Amino acid sequence: MNRRLELLLEIIFIIFIFLDGFLLLISIFLPIKPTLFTNIIFFDLITSILLFLGYLIKIQQHEKNTYLKKNWNGFISIAPFYFVGIVILGMNETSIILKILCLIKIFALTLSARQIGESVDDFVEKSRLIYGFAFFVVVLLFCSVAFFILEKGINPGVNTFEDSFWYIIQTITTVGYGDVVPDTQWGRLIGIITMISAIGITSLLTAATTSSLMDKLREDREKMAKSSISYFKELEDKIDDLESKIIKKENIDELKTDLKDMKTEMNEIKGILTKINKK
């Protein structure tokens, strides 16, 4: 139960880290609405607090000094630069210093994702979900930026990057509300690329998940098979011992005890084989 709870917390941390890094990235390079920028400031603050708690948990599980030296980037990733600079110090949101600090934080966040989400990182690497996830991120970033550049000033529905991002999310998830549609030929091409990529992403994620489940099932069966083989070997040894005792016609009470033990072990073997058959 503790292991499942830990895995769930790591997944939550990974989601917040990814969203925070993405939002920081678009706030640095792309024009966004003031309301969204305000939301990014406070979302970054929440993510920084969660990461601080995550590192506290990890420090308790490792030697403090060694862990802090090895994971120096944690000090950067837990720093809410936007909140401190804009809300507390009153700096301008276009400050070059803030943008550089946020770029450094994005790099630190990529390292923190692997450090705090160790179990998730291992699962993603084993299941090969990293390919599907990386493909999704590349398509999302490239297509949303490209659509914004190509449609801004031409398409009345695309005034800010949020409009472009909203269109790509609709397309890649095959929802398509129709409130934002491409007006240019190049914009339609971006839409086509997004649609085809969505099919590829779904196929990759499905294949990776299925492969991971099959590998897990294979490991469980191999463990059960090894357990049953060891049981049979022990039973063979006991049967040989019983045969020798019967021949000698001695230790009858001991024979009865051995027979009871054998029946118990046989029932355990039946249970193992039943589980294997159900799978």
Mean pLDDT of 189-195: 92
**Which of 110, 126, 142 corresponds to the end of one domain?**
126
176 found inside a domain: no
Residue 224, pLDDT > 90, answer no
Which residues lie below 8 Å from residue 48, measured CB to CB, with a gap of 6+?
77, 78, 79, 80, 83
pLDDT of residue 73: 77
How do residues 3-23 score in pLDDT, each as one tens digit? 667 777 778 888 898 889 988
Work out the pLDDT band at 1, boundaries 50, 70, 90. very low
DSSP structure string for 137-160: HHHHHHHHHHHHHHHTTT-TT-SS
Q: Looking at the structure, do residues 3 and 122 belong to the same domain, yes or no?
A: yes
146 found inside a domain: no
222 found inside a domain: yes
Mean pLDDT of 26-31: 85
Q: Looking at the structure, do residues 114 and 228 belong to the same domain, yes or no?
A: no
**Which of 126, 161, 179 corresponds to the end of one domain?**
126
**Which of 111, 126, 141 corresponds to the end of one domain?**
126
Range of the domain at 8: 1-126
- Of 85, 109, 84, 83, the closest CA to residue 96 belongs to 85
CA 77, CA 60: separation in Å to the nearest integer? 19
Mean pLDDT in the chain? 79
Q: Could you give the percent of the chain with pLDDT greater than 70? A: 71
Q: To 10 degrees, what angle do helices 118-127 and 129-151 make?
A: 90
The two structure tokens encoding residue 278: 């159900």
174 found inside a domain: no
CATH code (residue 58): 1.20.120
Residue 170, pLDDT > 70, answer yes
Burial class (CB in 10 A: 0-12, 13-18, 19+), 211: middle
| Number of structural domains the chain divides into | 2
177 found inside a domain: no
pLDDT of residue 237: 72
Mean pLDDT of 179-200: 90
Burial class (CB in 10 A: 0-12, 13-18, 19+), 144: buried
Of the listed ranges 155-159, 177-181, 190-194, 221-225, the one predicted with least confidence? 221-225
How do residues 54-84 score in pLDDT, each as one tens digit? 888 777 776 666 666 667 777 888 899 999 9
121 found inside a domain: yes
242 found inside a domain: yes
